[in-house]
Amino acid sequence: MNAQDLPTPTTTRPAPGKLLFEAPRRGKPPRHLADLSPADRKRAVTEFGLPGFRAAQLSKHYFERLVDDPAEWPDVPAALREQLYKTFFPRLMTPVREITCDGGTTRKTLWRLYDGALVESVLMRYPDRVTMCVSSQAGCGMNCPFCATGQAGLTRNLSTAEIVEQVVAGARELARGEVPGGPGRVSNVVFMGMGEPMANYKAVIDAVRRLTDPAPDGLGLSQRHITVSTVGLVPAIEKLTAERLNVTLAVSLHAPDDELRDELVPVNTRWKVGEVLGAAWDYAHTTKRRVSIEYALIRDINDQAWRADLLGKRLRGKLAHVNLIPLNPTPGSKWTASRPEDEDAFVRTLEAYGVPVTVRDTRGREIDGACGQLAAAG
Ligand code: SAH
């Protein structure tokens, strides 16, 4: 059956102000090589009745050569190829649509997964780097009212391989010279697509390992070039700290005070601003890495001078960097981006406190590929 004929699985929408921490269990995507650690790959190949070195060959073809056709596995006997391919490389996702802008250097792909669930990834090529923005869940259970994904609800967690495949797909396009600018490589990955990565902890951490293990075990990206963005699930941030990974932590703060954050990021009713920032500073001290504080500027909602001041006070002297994101209004939203003069004043206030701040570029906006717009709305 054509994957496009499959019905989309049920999505659960949390009631206003409610959260879904546990993703509904809706069956498992087929197992793929990218789900397995190098040791597990070896074990699986052995169970298949073959010598362990075949696992390393498959890893090399997938992670290093980015090949997706078994006919291009010269070191694997032709008689074994089909069965190995079927066993370790089931088709996990089918592109439904690719939309490009910025002269082809920004590309959003809508994927249909094995069960009909939809997710999106975005490739952004800059002069000095290529960033892939990936989804960690189909939908999201965190219910942030300004975010398109949050409004749609949660379908399910993605598997490790479903996350890795989004990056590998971009890596293949680049390697094959399909992205303007000549052949290239993915250098950065941000978990800022659909979903709350810290609510799908194990799959996300395993995906980070696949992305950062040196080739041929993994894609060989630098841990420092991976950003995990979270609404602030404190126990998961603590767990991440203990992993001793060198990834960048981004915290979606959006308000410096609990009253407003309770509304904008409903998980704040569970873990308050002080607790979230506390966990973030522990992460920063342990990893020596600057935490990125994400703040979507929403006109007359969170962009007042006193809130800039409070934010500056809370972040002053900390290992933090503020990333201001002009709100990208979702369809039907009553909210919009801040006035330029309010944005400027916000920046200046933070700078006066010595807090490093940048305003995020809004690449992909015209293809709904910008932050919070990955709603896969048909
Ligand atoms: N769930 C994670 C990652 C996904 S969203 C998180 O919340 O961090 C990536 C970033 O885009 C988050 O900072 C999120 O708050 C922000 N975002 C969501 N909707 C947005 C919108 N409409 N305009 C601007 N930023 C938005």
Instruction: Read off the pLDDT of residues 266-301 as tens digits, 9 standing for 90 and up.
Output: 999 999 999 999 999 999 999 999 999 999 999 999
Do both 101 and 247 map to the same domain? Answer: yes
Do both 79 and 112 map to the same domain? Answer: no
What residues form DSSP beta bridges with 108? 99, 122
Question: Within a domain: residue 315?
Answer: yes
Domain housing 296: 93-367
Q: Ligand 1, residues 147, 240, 247, 363: which to mutate, most atoms within 8 A of Cβ?
A: 147
What pLDDT score was predicted for residue 378? Answer: 44
pTM: 0.94
202-261: per-residue pLDDT in tens?
A: 999 999 999 999 999 999 999 999 999 999 999 999 999 999 999 999 999 999 999 999
Looking at 78-213, list the stretches that DSSP marks H as alpha helix, in order from N- to C-terminal side.
78-88, 148-152, 160-175, 201-212
Q: Where residue 64 sits, what CATH number does that domain have?
A: 1.10.150.530
The domain total for the chain is 2
- Tell me whether strands 106-113 and 93-101 are parallel, antiparallel or unpaired: antiparallel
What pLDDT score was predicted for residue 19? Answer: 81
pLDDT at 17 over 80: no
Question: Within a domain: residue 362?
Answer: yes
Do both 221 and 208 map to the same domain? Answer: yes
Do both 74 and 201 map to the same domain? Answer: no
* Banded pLDDT at 11 (limits 50, 70, 90): confident
302-355: per-residue pLDDT in tens?
A: 999 999 999 999 999 999 999 999 999 988 889 999 999 999 999 999 999 999
Question: How close is the Cα of 184 to the center of ligand 1, in Å?
Answer: 28
Do both 212 and 327 map to the same domain? Answer: yes
Do both 216 and 337 map to the same domain? Answer: yes
Question: Within a domain: residue 147?
Answer: yes
Closest CA to 359 of 328, 313, 329: 328
DSSP string across 175-241: HTT-STTSS----EEEE-SSS-GGGGHHHHHHHHHHHHSPTTTS----GGGEEEEES--HHHHHHHH
Residue at a domain's end among 88, 108, 130: 88
Q: What are the φ and ψ backbone dihedral angles of 287, each rounded to 5 degrees?
A: -95, -10
What pLDDT score was predicted for residue 151? Answer: 85
Mean pLDDT of the chain: 93
Q: Is there a contact between 326 and 297 (Cβ–Cβ < 8 Å)?
A: yes
Q: Is there a contact between 66 and 168 (Cβ–Cβ < 8 Å)?
A: yes
Question: Within a domain: residue 1?
Answer: no
Do both 284 and 163 map to the same domain? Answer: yes
Do both 84 and 97 map to the same domain? Answer: no
Residues with CB under 6 A from ligand 1: 142, 146-147, 192, 196, 229-231, 252, 294, 296, 325, 327-328, 330, 371-372
